[in-house]
Structure 1
Amino acid sequence: MDRALVVLGALFGLLGTAAAAAATHVTGPGTGLGTSANFLLFHAPALIALPALIRTGLVRAGIAHAGGVLVFSGVALFSGELALRAVEGKTLFYMAAPTGGTVLMAGWLVIAIAALAARRDA
């Protein structure tokens, strides 16, 4: 699971960089693609760092993994919806962006809980 989080974070970095370039050179400002890129790029380091936090014991592993999955899923939904809308003018499904944003916030809350539930000597 730790390796998967690093790979997913790296993919977010890749996709965020590509989306930022496309927002500048293809769709232009105000389309939502720049916001999509920002969310991908802001959360890429978090997913990559989470396994290190788990290994140091600063967060409880099982809870942190669940939080990482929620963060990944939320960003994928939110950014995917914005990108699809900007590029194709289509939507994933009704309320996809708000659903993704809510799942993302839940993921951050779960990671906070993982830190609170960590062993005391870490």
Structure 2
Amino acid sequence: MLSIAALWGLFGVIMLAAGAHAPRMGILATGGMMLLFHAAAVIGLIKTPLVSGWRRALPVALMLLGSGLFALEVGLHAALGVTPFVMLAPIGGTIAILGWLALVVTPQLEP
């Protein structure tokens, strides 16, 4: 999971750097931020003693999958100028939201 989070961080920075130049500024920056925020959250979840087992694995998997799908659609849109998989972004965003929700509703251990 750490390797995937690191890749998300890498791709997030690349998307933000590419998004700093016209004409695809806003859309790539959005995808880059989505990847970077979730990469940081996943790294934090991996290292915290407050959640473990499936309580850790479920939010991590949902956050990585959701942000990855979202950024993939955004990247394709920016590169191709069209959205070949128009529902990837909303589906990915929803999955990422479910990852955060899973973290909210799972009981945490006391430190």
Identical positions, percent: 36
| Aligned mate of 2:90, from 72, 83, 98 | 98
- Does 2:34 correspond to 1:39? yes
- Paired positions, count: 111
How far is the alpha carbon of 1:90 from its aligned partner? Answer: 3.7
2: distance between equivalents of 1:83 and 1:102? Answer: 18
Q: Give yes or no for the alignment of 1:69 onto 2:61.
A: yes
Computing the radius of gyration from Cα coordinates, the structure with the larger value is 1
CA contact 1:27–1:33 (8 Å) conserved in 2:
no
Which of 3, 6, 15 does residue 11 from structure 2 map onto? 15
Could you tell me whether the CA contact under 8 Å between 1:9 and 1:45 is conserved in 2?
yes
1:74 maps to amino acid = G
1:118 corresponds to which residue? 108
Q: TM-score, normalised by structure 1?
A: 0.81
Write the letter of the residue equivalent to 1:36: G
Counting only pairs closer than 5 Å after superposition, residues 21-60 of structure 1 correspond to structure 2 as 21-25=17-21, 27-30=23-26, 32-53=27-48, 56=49, 58-60=50-52
Q: Report the alpha carbon displacement of residue 26 of structure 1 after superposing the two structures with TM.
A: 6.0
- Structure 1: gaps (5+ residues): none
Contact 1:64 1:110 in 2 (8 A): no
Give the unaligned 5+ runs of structure 2: none
Structure 1 residue identity aligned to 2:64? F
Amino acid paired to 1:24: A
Task: State TM-score, norm by structure 2.
Answer: 0.88
